[in-house]
Amino acid sequence: MVQQIEVGPRVRLNTDRVLHAAVSLADDVGIESLSMRRLAQELGVVPMALYKHVANKEELLDGMVGVIVGEIDPPVRDAGWRSAVRQRILSAREALLRHPWARQVLESRTNRTPAVLEYMDTFIGMFLAGGFSVDLTHHVMHALGSRMWGFTQELFQDPAGADTEGKAEVPPEVQAAMFQEMSTRYPKILQIAMAAKHDDGPVVGPGCDDQFEFEFALDLLLEGFDRLHRQDWTSARAKLVRG
Amino acid sequence: MVQQIEVGPRVRLNTDRVLHAAVSLADDVGIESLSMRRLAQELGVVPMALYKHVANKEELLDGMVGVIVGEIDPPVRDAGWRSAVRQRILSAREALLRHPWARQVLESRTNRTPAVLEYMDTFIGMFLAGGFSVDLTHHVMHALGSRMWGFTQELFQDPAGADTEGKAEVPPEVQAAMFQEMSTRYPKILQIAMAAKHDDGPVVGPGCDDQFEFEFALDLLLEGFDRLHRQDWTSARAKLVRG
DNA sequence: ACCTGAACACCGTTCAAGT
DNA sequence: ACCTGAACACCGTTCAAGT
């Protein structure tokens, strides 16, 4: 699991080492178990030593986000806006999927760190380079929202995730009872959940093809953006129509 | 600010009273300051007394979400799916806006409480009643994601929000320097930010019409859903095409 | 310049006891 | 049946001191 020990001459701490240690500690033990004290221990150092390199825990989290954002590929060159945007979002998605805690941290934070701003700036650049008006680009960015990072709120999240080991298996008869309960109380949820499972396999469990769902919504939006772009959509006109 | 005092015969605690006290405490002091101890104090009771009515803090948060979800209007009757969905989402949005902490709590949680399931079930029902296939409804729900709750990740969030009082005002010359810095490092962000401010007023500050942005993206999606629905879209066919 | 020790003001939660 | 007191094992962070 977590590497530690670290004998020999104590390596000098620096912000980068702190940040990367924090990232891999969060990868290993989960974000909820990441504390300044625990991180210090991992680095073989007293808690207060960290405060020379990050001002506080908030800044630590911002720095960790920065590390992950740094793993996202820059926009591909010489491609249309649509494929450039699509590829970059899917690259972001891959980076975020490597660090399951990152989604939550990204969302919980009002990020205006240089790394995040840099990402957004080049992101916006893809639309502008594709001939989008500044106006449309602005609204398009809002429409994407967190999808820009390659994720959306999952509808039917697995409970907690993390340690699947500790939890006792649900015995089949209890599972059947839960199923019964669901089908009478929430029949429609069950219906669409069953539809997803149909061609996959297990009736209960995470049978959704998340990647398909993500691309479904993404392409729907991209299609819409494209249409508006070709129509020379402006927000002023839209507001007029809306009244 | 926070009402407390509460003299006279101590009212008996119950889960409902605990939950509602927690909601209004979070409204008042912010979710990050909501602790079991603080809540107990607010109710004029020792911390441990709460544990007779909620199993732990997680369950408290789930219960608080339940209270907010209960404030969302049920689907309107005798309307087309599109207007029913639209109205309900905007009603959810109003409820969530009344409790600024709710968005974050909703997102941080793997909610499968009865209140949330009930909301989703009736939500799904609107599409099915509109003649959507179970298949399309499933994907459409994923595409909506957290937009179902009436919010999306805000692009340019105000830092932290909450106590605007304590923070010292940024002096104009510093503001100008920040502006300068932004325009050279993140020129495109500035461009689209300026576009938003154009007809509003202050150059810096929250000049975005959040409601417009929200409806812009929502209508783009609804439009897309409608098109797929009329084309008798199926995921099987879509996967075939995609390869 | 960087790290340490001890302390402060908090957390959520358990356990055994009170009425 | 409900509430209390005292305690446990944690937090993030400050301050003054060490090398």
Q: Spelled out in words, what is the top-level CATH class assigned to the domain A68-154+210-238?
A: mainly alpha
The DSSP letter of residue B47 is G
Interatomic separation, CA of residue A17 and C1' of nucleotide D19, rounded (Å): 23
Q: Which one, of B126, B155, B174, lies nearest residue B214 by Cα? A: B155
Distances, alpha carbon A227 to alpha carbons A132, A204, A222, A231, B212, in Å? 11, 39, 9, 6, 19
CA angle B129, B130, B136 (to 5 degrees): 100
Q: For domain B15-54, which CATH number applies: 1.10.3720.10, 3.90.650.10, 1.10.760.10, 1.10.10.60? A: 1.10.10.60
The pLDDT of residue B196 is 67
> What is the reported pLDDT for B88?
94
- Picking from B108, B189, B224, the nearest residue to A224 by CB comes out as B224
What count of CB pairs under 8 Å joins A to B? 154
pTM over 0.85: no
Please list every residue in chain A whose beta carbon sits closer than 8 Å to the beta carbon of residue B194: 134
- Our measurement of the distance from residue A154's CA atom to the centroid of its chain's CA atoms, rounded to an integer in Å, reads 10
Q: Convert A41-58 into a string of H (helix), E (strand) and C (coil).
A: HHCCCCHHHHHHCCCCHH
Interface test with B, best of A89, A199, A220, A240 (most B CBs within 10 A): A220
Q: What single string gives the DSSP state of each residue in B130-177?
A: TT--HHHHHHHHHHHGGGGGT----TTPPSS-S-TTTSPPPPHHHHHH
Nucleotides of strand D under 7 angstroms from a protein beta carbon: 2-6, 10-16
Smallest Cα distance from A237 to chain B, Å: 13
The percentage of chain A sitting over the pLDDT mark of 90, rounded to a whole number, equals 43
Instruction: Spell out which residues of A between 40 and 99 contact strand C, using CB within 7 Å.
Output: 45-49, 52-53
Chain B residues near residue A120 by CB distance under 8 angstroms: 155, 186, 189
**Per residue in A27-50, pLDDT tens?**
999 999 999 999 999 999 999 999
Q: Taking residues B225-236, report their average pLDDT.
A: 88
- Token pair for A28: 């290993």
Separation between Cα atoms, residue A43 and residue A31, nearest integer Å: 17
Helix (H, G, I), strand (E, B), or coil: what is residue B31?
helix
How far from A129 is each of A82, A133, B8, CA to CA, in Å?
11, 10, 69
A218 band by pLDDT with thresholds 50, 70 and 90: confident
- Cα–Cα distances (Å) from B127 to B86, B96, B118, in that order, read 11, 23, 15
3-state secondary structure of A3: coil
Round to a whole number and report the distance in Å from the CA of A127 to the C1' of D16: 55
Asked if A42 and A2 count as a contact pair (C-beta separation under 8 A), the reply is yes
Does residue A154 register a pLDDT over 80? no
The pLDDT value recorded for residue A41 is 94
Cα separation of A90 and A218, whole Å?
10
> What per-residue confidence (pLDDT) applies to A161?
37
Mean pLDDT lowest among A93-102, A210-219, B4-13: B4-13
CA of B213 to C1' of C9 (A): 43
Which of A128, A142, A191 has its CB closest to that of B155?
A142
Q: Return the pLDDT at B102.
A: 94
Query: Any atom of strand C under 7 A from CB of A217?
Result: no
Please indicate whether residue B192 or residue A56 has the higher confidence score (pLDDT): A56
**Nearest chain A residue (CA) to B183:** A121
Higher-confidence position of B110 and A60: A60
The better pLDDT of the pair B204, B79 is held by B79
Nucleotides of C under 7 A from a protein CB: 2-6, 10-16
Which residues of chain A lie closer than 8 angstroms to B118, CB-CB? 185-186
Task: State the Cα–Cα distance between residues A130 and A154, nearest whole angstrom.
Answer: 30
- Sign of dihedral through CA atoms A92, A93, A94, A99? positive
- CA B72, CA B95: separation in Å to the nearest integer? 6
Q: How far apart are CA B47 and CA B49, in angstroms?
A: 5
* Most B CBs within 10 Å, among A31, A138, A209, A222, to test the B interface: A138
> How far is residue A197 from each of residues A20, A61, A203, B144, B227, measured CA to CA in Å?
39, 37, 6, 20, 25
Please give the pLDDT value at position A160. 39
**B69 to chain A, closest Cα gap in Å:** 16
Query: Is residue B52's beta carbon less than 7 angstroms from any atom in nucleic acid strand C?
Result: no
Torsion on CA atoms A36, A37, A43, A49, rounded to nearest 10: 80
Distance from CA of B85 to the nearest CA of A (A): 15
Nearest to B2 by CA among B35, B39, B36: B39
pLDDT in tens, B27-64: 999 999 999 999 999 999 999 999 999 999 999 999 99
Query: ∠A212-B119-A109 over CA atoms, to 5°?
Result: 65
Q: Which of A7-11, B36-40, B191-195 has the lowest mean pLDDT?
A: A7-11
Model confidence over A162-203: pLDDT tens digits?
333 334 456 778 778 878 877 887 888 877 777 666 544 444
Tell me which of B192 and B141 has the higher pLDDT. B141
C-alpha B178/C-alpha B204 separation (Å) is: 10
Q: Diameter of chain B by CA atoms? A: 71
Gyration radius from chain B CA atoms: 22
Tokens of A116: 């995040």
Q: What is the pLDDT of residue A206?
A: 46
Pseudo-torsion of CA B209, B214, B217, B218, nearest 10°? Answer: -140
Rounded CA separation B69/B54 (Å): 18
Nucleotide D15 C1' to residue A37 CA (A) = 18
- The domain locations on chain A are 15-54, 68-154+210-238
The contacts found for A79-84 with CB under 8 angstroms, 24 or more apart, are A80/A130, A81/A126, A81/A127, A81/A129, A81/A130, A81/A131, A81/A132, A82/A130, A82/A222, A82/A226, A84/A126, A84/A129, A84/A130
